[in-house]
Structure formats: structure tokens, C-alpha cells
A = this chain, B = another copy of it.
Amino acid sequence: MNKYIFAERMKNFQASDIAAILKVTADPEIISFAGGLPAPELFPIDEMKEVVAYVLEKHGTKALQYSTTEGHVPLREKIASRMNRKYQTRLESDNIMITTGSQQSLDLLAKMFIDDGDVILCESPTYLGALSAFNGYNPRYVEVETDADGMVPEALEEALKREKRAKAVYVIPDFQNPTGKTWTFERRRAFMEVINRYNIVVFEDNPYGELRFKGVVPPSLKSFDTKGQVVLLGTFSKIFCPGMRIAWLCAEGEIYEKFSYLKQAADLHSPTLSQYEIDTYMEMYDLDAHVGRIIDVYKERCGIMIEAMRAELPPSVSYTVPEGGLFTWVVLPENLSARDVLMTCIEKKVAFVPGGAFFPNGGHENTLRLNYSNMPPERIVQGIKLLGNAIKEHLR
């Protein structure tokens, strides 16, 4: 007999069968295309040894103590100028708040805006982890048509007109998770023109934008924002080390202020020591050069995966060819279930995430997401070969 009663919202949190299946990916024998893990061999461990020794020597008592909710000011200054340089924003340190991973920003932004039954508009498909953050606040999801160029502005406008309870739009315009697609410049401009006409806030999630293999980084949605409607999220997880759990949010005015209340209530502040470490790393070393090394490796791995898919997947299977980021998106023939294929793949010691979970309102069970950042080239080739075999078995 239970001696307690859970809140209603807990109905939105259920054990996932996929999570259970993917627990097997902890087995080092498994070739995993499932997670979004950076390549650990690129972590700057030797540099970190030097950085940490310096931080403890120079700032030990401060770096181990409680600190302010908003975060370490020198780090916030560096982030603001970096964002302005890369994404054409006009941010100051007072617009930057340090968060415990971008996951925390997603959770607290939903807490700030979403009452039971409010609508979140999103790309279709969209990031699974964002949905699990938002689910705690009982939103309804409206998937907005998204093509190869990004969210379709006419579809967005139509949804905003129709959905009186629309509160927020959640988008990942750069190397989207799960599809790997990037919005064009023209689509960004058109999106923001629509947004400007409505009482709505935009959560622009950009964990992968810097990991661009070719071409130029397009301006952020935030760079078109004249009314403080866009909250832009960035993170060190993909360009430095995810285990430090340091990310940031860019916002103005009342949103920034209210976010700090929520963050204080959620975890007081993000780890002080991690903040000092990243700040010191950025002073002692060239983060851009480090990102350059990551890009070289991921670009190679992406190329190898695409080449292997060309060779191994049947012609009825399509996939995106990303220009950056961590993922490619595979569409199987309509009658094939990616969950079934996954079961076969697990037997062959290969794993991926079935795509259905990325559609908040279900369907699209014939899709899947592949990560190429975490496996070395020879395992990518081997894994895609096994995936191809599994798909062919199911097509028979």
C-alpha cells in the first residue's frame, strides 16, 4: 500500500521502454549511435590539469564556496562577447545567466511560461529532452511543419492564429536535434517577422551551432530580436566538456530577472568550481582552436557515416547529410518500425534512438536518429553495415 499520493503531473513521467533498451549501450561492446555524447578522446585533460591547479591556487576559497545565482561575472563577460562574435547578437554580461546544463534552462523556461494546457509550438520532429523538461508543466504540443529549410513561416502564422493559448515556440535552428538540419537565413528572418506580430516567447536552443563543417554560421534568431522575445540557450557541453554541467541562457529584462528567482529555487547556483575552471581555460587557452579540433574529427566521422550509409542502406531508405552538429536522421520505408529494427540491431550489438520519440504527438515510427560523434571511424563503418543488414532483414 502506498502511503503517499503523487502530483497529477507525474502521469507525464513514465518509464520508457526505449530507455530500458538503451541501457544496454553502457556495454562497451555495443556500437552506439544512440546518445549525443562528445568524443571523450578530445577532452583537454592535460590543459584541465593545469587549469584546475591554477584555480585552486589562486581562487581556492572562492571557487569552493557558494556563489551568486547569475554566475561568475568574468565567465559571463566572455560568453557575451563570444556570442556577439559568433551569432551577431548584442549581449552584455548582464544578459547571460549560467545554468546547470541547457536542460535546466528548458525546465525553468517552461516553469516560467507554461500553465496547464498552454501550447508550445515546436518543430516536427524536435528534441526529446526538451519535451521531457516541458512535460512537468502539462503543455499541449503543436508541431509546426518543418522542411529542409527550417520551420515554415506560413504554418507558424496559421498555428499562432489558431492556438489562442500558444505561449512559446521551441526551436533548434542550427544542426537540429534530431534531424541535423539548419535553417536558412531567409527562414530565420521570416520566422522572426511572424514572431514580432504575436505575444509569444521563443526558446532558441543552440548547443551545436559552432560545430560547423563548412560554410558560414548564420545569424541567430536572437540577432533579429528587437523586443526581448527570444531567449537563446548555449552550452559548453558540446564544445568543451559535458561533465561539468555548465551552460548559459541569454535574455533581457523581466525574463532574466524571473529566471534568476527560479534558478535560485532550483539549485541556488551552478557549480562555482566548474565556472572558474572554464573561465580560466578560456584565459589560458584558445577555445576556438579546441573547437576547431572537434570539428575536424566530427566532420571526418560524419563523412564516414554518410559514405557507409550510401554503401550499406537500401535505396528505399533516406537520410539527411548534415553540415555540422552530431546527428543524421534516417527515414525508413513507411511500413517499417524503427523499434523493431532496433531490437534486431541490439542483437547485432548496434544501437540508435527510434525517431518516434521525437514527435510529441506520436507517429513517424519509421524514423531513427544516428549520432556520429562518439564512435571511432572503424566502428562507424561496422555499425552502419550491421544496421543496413538489420534493415534489409526487416524489408524481406
Contacts and interface: CB of A to CB of B under 8 A. Distances in A.
Interface of A: 1-10, 13-15, 35, 37-38, 40-41, 43, 45, 48-49, 52-53, 56-57, 60-67, 100-101, 103-104, 107, 111-115, 118, 129, 132-133, 135-137, 167-168, 198-201, 227-229, 237, 241-245, 254-255, 257-258, 261-262, 264-274
A273 to B, nearest CB: 5
A129 to B, nearest CB: 8
Given A3-B201, A13-B258, A103-B265, 5 more contacts: A3-B229, A7-B112, A100-B270, A103-B268, A244-B272
A136 B241 CA distance: 31
Contacts of A258: 6, 10, 13
Given A7-B137, A57-B49, A258-B6, A65 B269 contact: no
A297 to B, nearest CB: 14
Nearest to A237: B66
Contact of A65 (B37, B115, B255): B37
A53 B115 CA distance: 47
By CB atoms of chain B within 10 A, which of A5, A118, A255 has the most? A5
A269 B129 CA distance: 13
A167 B228 CA distance: 39
Nearest to A135: B265
A2 B254 CA distance: 9
A208 to B, nearest CB: 15
A294 B3 CA distance: 38
> 7 tightest A-B contacts by CB?
A243-B272, A40-B61, A45-B60, A64-B241, A13-B261, A4-B201, A64-B243
